[in-house]
Chains A and B, each alone.
Chain A
Amino acid sequence: MVPISYYLILSGIVFLIGFVGVLLRRNIIIILLSVELMLNATNINFVAFSQYFHDVAGQVFVFFALTVAAAEVAVGLAIIIALYRAKSAINIDEFQLLKW
């Protein structure tokens, strides 16, 4: 039996990597991939606790998180395509109209 703290540590590590990736990378696609990493980290937590408490509700919540992730990917990639049409680039350095 693996202690639940191991799962928490693994989840924390993956979440941290995804967080740093969002801040570090310039490519919008990689930023979205990092968001996927963070979502997966939380899902690992949910499933670990679901198994730990013998309550299937955690897995149902992961199911909903997956739905939202799919929606996020569809809309996010559509936004990326629209951005690419506007500027022919997907580096976030190019998009600073709102910066002062």
Chain B
Amino acid sequence: MEQVVFFYFALVIAAASVLVVALRNPIYSALALLIMFFHVAGLYVTLHAEFLAAVQIIVYAGAILVLYLFVVMLLNLRQDDRYHRQWPMAGIVGATLVIEAIILTVMKGWTSPVVATGTETTVGATTNAGAIGDVLYSTYLFPFEVASLILLVAMIGAIMLAKKDIGEC
């Protein structure tokens, strides 16, 4: 049963990813990416990462993708008629990566599962969100603050870049 669910999610994720790259209309690409985000969130739920599934839908599908669609519609783009000139190079590099992955898989084989040696960080927390919160505000407190700084820098940078003329006001 779990495998059936996984294969459904994996199939839709792969198909939607291909559509994102292949479709000519940017709006359709963004909508295919929306489908892909939702199915990645479903995959997170099957992996017992419910908090990340919620964040995936809220942040990725709710904020990031809406921003993309907003810009696509703001710029009023024409359809992309053809691919980039360097598509043979893209094919070569892609094929090389595929062959490398296959060779690595065949050489290493299907190794036996490694014994889980993770540090038990989920102390006293029962839910997934609680466990993440415990770790985030104790062990990873400094990276958390740095992340807020990154968001501040991104906000200022976006405003400065998109402003009409930087010299005035």
* A interface residues (Cβ-Cβ under 8 A, vs B): 1-6, 10, 12-14, 16-21, 23-27, 29-30, 32-34, 36-37, 40, 43-44, 47-48, 50-57, 59-60, 62-64, 66-75, 77-82, 84, 90-93
A16 touches B47 (CB 8 A): no
Q: Of A3, A14, A44, A74, which one neighbours B67 at CB under 8 angstroms? A: A74
Beyond the given pairs A59-B52, A60-B132, A84-B75, 6 more chain A to chain B contacts, judged by CB atoms under 8 angstroms and listed by A's residue number, are: A16-B97, A21-B21, A27-B80, A29-B77, A64-B147, A92-B84
Query: What total of A-B pairs shows CB separation below 8 Å?
Result: 213
A26-B84, A59-B51, A81-B162 are known contacts. Are A43 and B40 too (CB-CB below 8 A)?
yes
Q: Bound state CA distance, A56 and B153, in angstroms?
A: 28
Q: Of A67, A78, A92, A93, which one neighbours B147 at CB under 8 angstroms? A: A67
B135 touches A56 (CB 8 A): yes
A73 → chain B closest CB, angstroms: 5
B106 within 8 A of A: no
Q: Of A20, A32, A40, A75, which one neighbours B68 at CB under 8 angstroms? A: A32
| SS class, residues of chain A in contact with chain B | helix
- Give the interface size class of chain B: 35 or more
A60 touches B136 (CB 8 A): yes
| SS class, residues of chain B in contact with chain A | helix
* B interface residues (Cβ-Cβ under 8 A, vs A): 2-3, 6, 10, 13-14, 17-18, 20-21, 26, 29-30, 33, 36-37, 40, 43-44, 46-49, 51-52, 55-56, 59-60, 63-64, 67-68, 71-72, 74-75, 77, 80, 82-87, 89-91, 93-94, 97-98, 101, 110, 113, 116-122, 128, 131-132, 135-136, 139-140, 143, 147, 150-151, 153-155, 157-162
B6 touches A6 (CB 8 A): yes
B132 touches A6 (CB 8 A): no
B37 touches A40 (CB 8 A): yes
Q: Bound state CA distance, A39 and B73, in angstroms?
A: 24
Q: Bound state CA distance, A79 and B120, in angstroms?
A: 43
In chain B, what residue has the closest Cβ to A91?
B80
| Chain B residues, Cβ within 8 Å of A54 | 116, 118, 120, 122
A82 touches B162 (CB 8 A): yes
